């Protein structure tokens, strides 16, 4: 059990280190277009897939 705890703490520290060391890649224009098309920022109750949502 002690080994699992040490491994979990080491991996958590590695994750935090990588998060702080590497910059976040911004979304490119094509990804933003897809998000805008599917309305991910719009109404949550209406569903997120236009093909399967009710007319």
> pLDDT tens digit string along 38-49?
875 555 555 556
Nearest to 10 by CA among 21, 2, 30: 2
**How do residues 4-27 score in pLDDT, each as one tens digit?**
999 999 999 999 999 999 988 888
Retrieve residue 11's tokens: 């991996």
Domain ranges of the chain: 1-46
pTM for the model stands at 0.46
pLDDT band at 55 (very low <50, low <70, confident <90, very high): low
27: left (phi over 0), alpha (psi -120 to 50) or beta: beta
- 38 and 48 Cβ atoms separated by less than 8 Å: yes
Q: Is the pLDDT of residue 3 over 70?
A: yes
Retrieve residue 39's tokens: 């309305």
pLDDT band at 50 (very low <50, low <70, confident <90, very high): low
Cα–Cα distance, 14 to 8 (Å, whole number): 10
């Amino acid at each position: 059990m002690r080994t699992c705890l040490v491994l979990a703490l080491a991996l958590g520290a590695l994750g935090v280190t990588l998060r702080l060391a590497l910059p976040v890649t911004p979304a490119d224009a094509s990804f933003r277009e897809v998000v805008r098309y599917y309305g991910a920022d719009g109404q949550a109750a209406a569903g997120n897939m236009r093909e399967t949502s009710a007319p």
